[in-house]
């Protein structure tokens, strides 16, 4: 591709700030336009990034014929209409996680992608972390054998994002930590497991801590009384290959002394693994000894930046989407199943 791909970012007041360095560093793309409903945030971001093409209406950015890539960084409930409009306008789309709040909406986006012939990707930045890449390479090489069980959690202690109603009001977010941070650890786990097809989910959600008198978060102070999403969720998932997964997520859990604990254990018939320690565990049956291998922790740049650079490269060179929407559909099918199971108080099928 002879010219630089021009990127338009929608929603510049939050996570977009972590995307900007990737677009600036990319050899295939450049920041060209911003859109935000907040004139103040729009002006501030434009001045900081040297972007002068500023739109207060996202549809005007999408209609801009000069824009090649639309980067969507809005609250969850606005992803689908914006991504659909961008694809239908002939733009490539990278969208912050979750790609859409429901599986049906992701199917609609996949159909729009196929009609447009453009690229669609979810910004799952943990895949672009050096430790994750090292672990994925070992697993793909067969070091664990057949992975038959996983345990994953992303747990925060008194760290709900209450500064913005885009997170804690369901009409904007679609859910609480399940859909906010659960999507991170679940996507990474499924990626490591090789994306077996989920068939059933048994899940629960709780909001016991958010509504206690004096409930607070280190990110914003008092939990607002209008907080209407869960603060904890857990699930047991069965896959079509017989594998199982236990998932736990929370914003407020009384857990450890750290603000956040994100871990994953994988168990295969040849060995086990822990992320993010990046340890491989096996047994020498001949000598009856335990074997532990420490993988390297190669860190080269911000994962948020690298995901944007990988997307631009894929568009420019005609490579596949670094995070295919079909994989995001699996993630959201499980999270949607968790919510349905919690509401119906029973295990639900995903087919």
pLDDT along the chain (351 residues), means of 10: 88 96 97 97 97 98 98 97 98 98 97 98 97 95 98 97 95 96 98 98 98 95 97 98 98 92 97 96 91 80 96 98 98 98 98 82
Token pair in block for residue 92:
């490539």
Indicate if the alpha-carbon torsion angle 340, 104, 125, 16 is positive or negative: negative
Report pLDDT for 300.
Answer: 74
| Same domain, residue pair 102 and 158 | no
Query: Closest Cα to residue 169, out of 218, 212, 210?
Result: 210
308 is a domain residue: no
The residue with tokens 């822990």 is 274
How are beta strands 29-35 and 53-55 bridged, if at all? parallel
Report pLDDT for 292.
Answer: 87
Q: In the Cβ-directed half-sphere of 255, how many Cα atoms lie within 13 Å? A: 20
- What is the rounded CA–CA span in Å between residue 5 and residue 7? 6
200 is a domain residue: yes
CATH number for the domain spanning 272: value is 3.30.360.10
Full strand arrangement of the beta sheet holding 92-96 = 53-55, 29-35, 5-10, 69-72, 92-96, 120-123
| Same domain, residue pair 296 and 254 | yes
326 is a domain residue: no
- What is the rounded CA–CA span in Å between residue 193 and residue 140? 9
Token pair in block for residue 337:
């199943």
Report pLDDT for 351.
Answer: 82
| Same domain, residue pair 192 and 134 | yes
| Same domain, residue pair 272 and 161 | yes
Q: How far is CA 320 from the centre of its chain?
A: 18
102 is a domain residue: yes
Peptide bond into 98 cis (omega under 30): yes
Peptide bond into 238 cis (omega under 30): no
Strand partners, 266: 150, 273
Domain assignment of residue 90, given as a range:
5-124
310 is a domain residue: no
- What is the rounded CA–CA span in Å between residue 222 and residue 32? 38
Strand partners, 8: 33, 70
The structural domain count of the chain equals 2
Report pLDDT for 1.
Answer: 45
Q: How far is CA 32 from the centre of its chain?
A: 25
């Amino acid at each position: 591709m002879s010219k630089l791909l021009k990127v338009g970012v929608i929603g510049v007041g939050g996570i977009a700030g972590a995307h900007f360095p990737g677009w600036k560093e990319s050899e295939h793309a450049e920041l060209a336009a911003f859109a935000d409903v907040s004139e103040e945030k729009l002006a501030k971001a434009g001045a900081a990034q040297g972007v002068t093409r500023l739109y207060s209406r996202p549809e005007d950015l999408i209609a801009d014929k000069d824009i090649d890539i639309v980067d969507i960084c809005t609250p969850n409930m606005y992803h689908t209409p914006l991504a659909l409009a961008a694809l239908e306008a002939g733009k490539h789309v990278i969208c912050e996680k979750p790609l859409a709040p429901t599986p049906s909406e992701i199917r609609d986006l996949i159909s729009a992608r196929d009609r447009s012939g453009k690229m669609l990707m979810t910004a799952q930045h943990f895949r672009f972390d050096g430790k994750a890449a090292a672990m994925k390479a070992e697993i793909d090489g067969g070091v664990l054998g057949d992975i038959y069980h996983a345990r994953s959690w992303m747990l925060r202690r008194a760290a709900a994002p209450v500064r913005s109603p885009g997170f804690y009001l369901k009409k904007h977010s679609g859910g609480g930590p399940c859909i906010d941070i659960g999507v991170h650890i679940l996507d990474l786990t499924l990626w490591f497991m090789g994306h077996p097809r989920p068939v059933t989910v048994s899940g629960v959600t709780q909001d016991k801590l958010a509504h206690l008198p004096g409930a607070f978060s280190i990110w914003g102070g008092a939990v607002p009384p209008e907080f209407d999403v869960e603060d904890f969720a857990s699930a047991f998932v069965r896959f079509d290959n017989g594998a199982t997964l236990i998932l736990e997520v929370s914003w407020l859990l009384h857990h450890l002394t750290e603000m956040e604990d994100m871990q994953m254990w994988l168990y295969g018939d040849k060995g086990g693994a822990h992320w993010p320690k990046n340890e491989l565990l096996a047994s020498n049956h001949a000598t009856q000894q335990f074997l532990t291998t420490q993988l390297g922790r190669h860190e080269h740049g911000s994962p948020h930046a690298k995901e944007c650079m990988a997307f631009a490269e894929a568009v420019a060179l005609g490579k596949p989407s670094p995070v295919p929407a079909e994989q995001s559909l699996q993630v959201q099918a499980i999270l949607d199943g968790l919510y349905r199971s919690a509401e119906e108080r029973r295990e639900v099928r995903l087919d």
